[in-house]
Amino acid sequence: MALLLHRRSTGVLAGLIALVLAGPAQAAGPAKVTVRAEGVQQTLIPRVAVTTTTTPVNKSGKPGEECTGTSAAGALEIASGGDWTGSFFGGSGYFVETIKGETPAFPLFFTFWLNNRESPVGICSVELQEGDDVLFFVARCDFDGQTCTNPPVLPLGLKVPATASPGSPFNVEVVEFATNGTPSPVAGAIVTGGSSPATTDANGVAAVTLTDRGAAGLRATKPNRAASATETVCATDGADGFCGTTKPGDPPATVPPCTTTGDDGLCGTRDRRAPQGRVVGISEGQRFARGRGPRELRGLVAPDPSGLQAVKLRLTRRVDGRCSYYSPKTETLRRSRCGRSFAFGIGDRAEFSYLLPKRLPRGRYVLDVVAIDKAFNRDPLARGRNRVVFTVS
Q: pLDDT (tens digit, 9 = 90+) per residue, 115-149?
A: 999 999 999 999 999 889 999 999 999 988 778 88
pLDDT in the model for residue 117? 94
Residue 194: burial class (beta carbons within 10 Å; 0-12, 13-18, 19+): buried
Reported as a pLDDT band with limits 50, 70 and 90, residue 29 is confident
Cα–Cα distance, 90 to 87 (Å, whole number): 10
Full-model pTM: 0.77
Spell 371-389 as b/e; 16+ CB within 10 A means b. bbbbbebebeeeeebbbbb
Q: Which CATH number fits domain 277-392: 3.30.450.40, 2.60.40.10, 3.40.50.620, 3.40.50.720?
A: 2.60.40.10
Confidence check: pLDDT of 236 > 90: yes
Strands 190-192 and 163-164: unpaired
Range scoring the smallest mean pLDDT among 167-171, 268-272, 278-282, 378-382: 268-272
d(CA 316, CA 205): 44
Q: Is pLDDT at 100 greater than 50 in this prediction?
A: yes
Give the pLDDT of residue 26.
55
Average pLDDT over every residue of 215-223: 97
What's 13's DSSP letter? E
Domain definitions of the chain by residue range: 4-140, 154-235, 277-392
DSSP 362: S
> Going by CATH, does the domain composed of 154-235 fall within 2.60.40.10?
yes
- Let me know: does 310 contact 348? Beta carbons within 8 Å: yes
Do the domains 277-392 and 154-235 match in fold? yes
Who contacts 81 (Cβ-Cβ below 8 Å, separation ≥6)? none
pLDDT over 60 at 2, yes or no: no
Residue 254 has a pLDDT of 73
pLDDT of residue 51: 97
Closest CA to 122 of 145, 147, 114: 114
Instruction: Express each pLDDT in 240-261 by its tens digit.
Output: 999 988 888 888 767 678 888 8
DSSP strand pairing (43-51 vs 84-89): unpaired
pLDDT above 70 as % of the chain: 92
Three-state SS for 26? coil
Q: What are the CA-CA distances from residue 386 to residues 176, 305, 346 (Å)? A: 34, 19, 15
Does 25 have pLDDT greater than 60? Answer: no
Binned at pLDDT 50, 70 and 90, residue 23 comes out as: very low
How crowded is residue 276: how many other Cβ atoms within 10 Å of its Cβ?
A: 16
Determine contact, residues 48/35, Cβ cutoff 8 Å. yes
CATH number for the domain formed by residue range(s) 4-140:
2.170.130.30
Kindly state the average pLDDT of the residues 344-348: 92
